[in-house]
Amino acid sequence: MSRALQEVVFVDGVRTPFGKAGGSLAETRADDLVVTVFRELLRRNPSLPTDRIDDVAVAATTQIGDQGMTLGRTASLLAGLPSSVPGYAIDRMCAGAMTAVTTLSAGIMAGAIDVALAGGVESMSRHPMGDGMDPNPRFLSERLVDTDALVMGATAENLHDRFPTLTKERADAFAAASQAKTAHAYAQGWIQPDLVPVATRSAELGWGLLTADEAMRPETTLEGLAALKTPFRVHGRVTAGNASGLNDGATAALLASESAADELGLSKRMRMVAYAFAGVEPEFMGVGPVPSTEKALARSGLSIDDIDLFEVNEAFAVQVLALLEHFGIADDDPRVNPMGGAIAVGHPLASSGIRLMSNLARDFERNPSARFGITTMCIGLGMGGTVIWENLHHDGSRSHDGRSA
């Protein structure tokens, strides 16, 4: 019996404000952060009967303690979903939430499910990067990977080595622009609609409320960035200013088949066109988005010239620059991260993929002339992930820079 593939639509996406590791969210359980974003998604989409949710996938990179125990299932029960709704956990390091979205979307495309919740969370306060990790000694003894592969900052330094045109000055300029664009986006009220305020608790300070990303530095200057230390290499180029920080936060997205969205009266903000993941040498992790983007474009039948907007995770400025230079895109192209990125707001590892998607959905709403957009990111141990989306607010016109004509 033949079956028609179903179209996947991005209905809605939300996130907590991202806290600094050791900051406002340090004493908040990771699973409670997921519950917060799940409940907000359900509140914002009241026409969705909770028993129509077919599956739930939640990602975390360090799956121990409050980030373990099959988060997709436990967070669903804690959020009040019916016990009939199943769930599972995902780990693809930084691309965990992105993989939760693509895995659930594959099920929707195949007709196995109609409505799904995807999420990602990381509490780097409670579970520092590498916590509980036990790499197989063969990785190093048999030289399967370079020692740099296990230190993300070292892989970023390696990119500077491989591509000498990607200078520290360019990385610092990109980082300063990310901070400025984020500050502008906040001033315009573009980011706040998808933020879920989180009640915070501290044994020392008591209760509080986090309503904005905690790591932002709108006062950043090129002079200040130039003076920062390079912790991964003497006289290196990667600093705390041109890289994302250590953060806590959670994201969630509601996905549906187009037919189910129509039936249930759900919004249809963008349609998935294609996605791809690719591997590269682990010690050059940051170049991963290049082959994953090439694969996704090939699968979609599109070229890079068809893409009007880009949401690229800013794990390090140099890895964004590597992608842009490969495709001949200027460092300051206004189509790239219009609301800033992870250098300013933070990168709680497995949660960031959905932040990119929520941002792109907002970018599309402000730019009805833009038809196609990309969300892409590098992934630890040498991978990249890319998802191409179509703007369902597209008005038929198109300007070269992705802005309204």
- The maximal CA–CA distance of the chain, rounded, in angstroms, is 65
CATH number of the structural domain spanning residue 362? 3.40.47.10
Residue 235 token pair? 């006289």
CA angle, 265 then 262 then 57, to 5°: 85
Residue of 127, 160, 347, 394 marked active site = 347
Q: Is residue 383 part of a domain?
A: yes
Task: Find all residues with CB under 8 Å of 298, minimum gap 6, and list them.
Answer: none
d(CA 66, CA 175): 33
| 163 inside domain | yes
- List the catalytic residue out of 94, 127, 160, 394: 94
Number of domains in the chain: 1
What is residue 173's predicted lDDT score, i.e. its pLDDT? 98
Domain of residue 172 covers: 138-189+273-390
Q: Is residue 29 part of a domain?
A: no
Does residue 320 sit within a domain?
A: yes
Pairing of strands 19-20, 247-257: antiparallel
pLDDT value at residue 402: 40
Active site residue 160: no
Per the listing, tokens 């919740």 go with 117
Catalytic residue among 160, 235, 326, 378: 378
Count other Cβ atoms within 10 Å, centred on residue 147.
11
The Cα–Cα gap between 348 and 162 comes to 27
pLDDT at 404: 35
291: number of Cβ within 10 Å: 18
* Number of Cβ atoms within 10 Å of the Cβ of 138: 10
Instruction: Please indicate, yes or no, if residue 350 is contained in any of the structural domains.
Output: yes
Full-model pTM: 0.95
Q: Which residue matches tokens 């740099």? A: 148
With respect to residue 195, please indicate whether it lies within any of the assigned structural domains. no
On whether residue 54 sits in a domain, the answer given is no
Q: What are phi and psi of 249, to 5 degrees?
A: 170, 170
In whole angstroms, what is the distance from residue 30 CA to residue 56 CA?
Answer: 16
In a domain, 240, yes or no: no
Place of tokens 């969300």: 375
Residue-by-residue pLDDT tens, the chain, 405 positions: 667 789 999 999 999 999 999 999 999 999 999 999 999 999 999 999 999 999 999 999 999 999 999 999 999 999 999 999 999 999 999 999 999 999 999 999 999 999 999 999 999 999 998 888 888 889 878 888 888 888 899 999 999 999 999 999 999 999 999 999 999 999 999 999 999 999 998 888 889 999 999 999 999 999 999 999 999 999 999 999 999 999 999 999 999 999 999 999 999 999 999 999 999 999 999 999 999 999 999 999 999 999 999 999 999 999 999 999 999 999 999 999 999 999 999 999 999 999 999 999 999 999 999 999 999 999 999 999 999 999 998 888 764 444 333
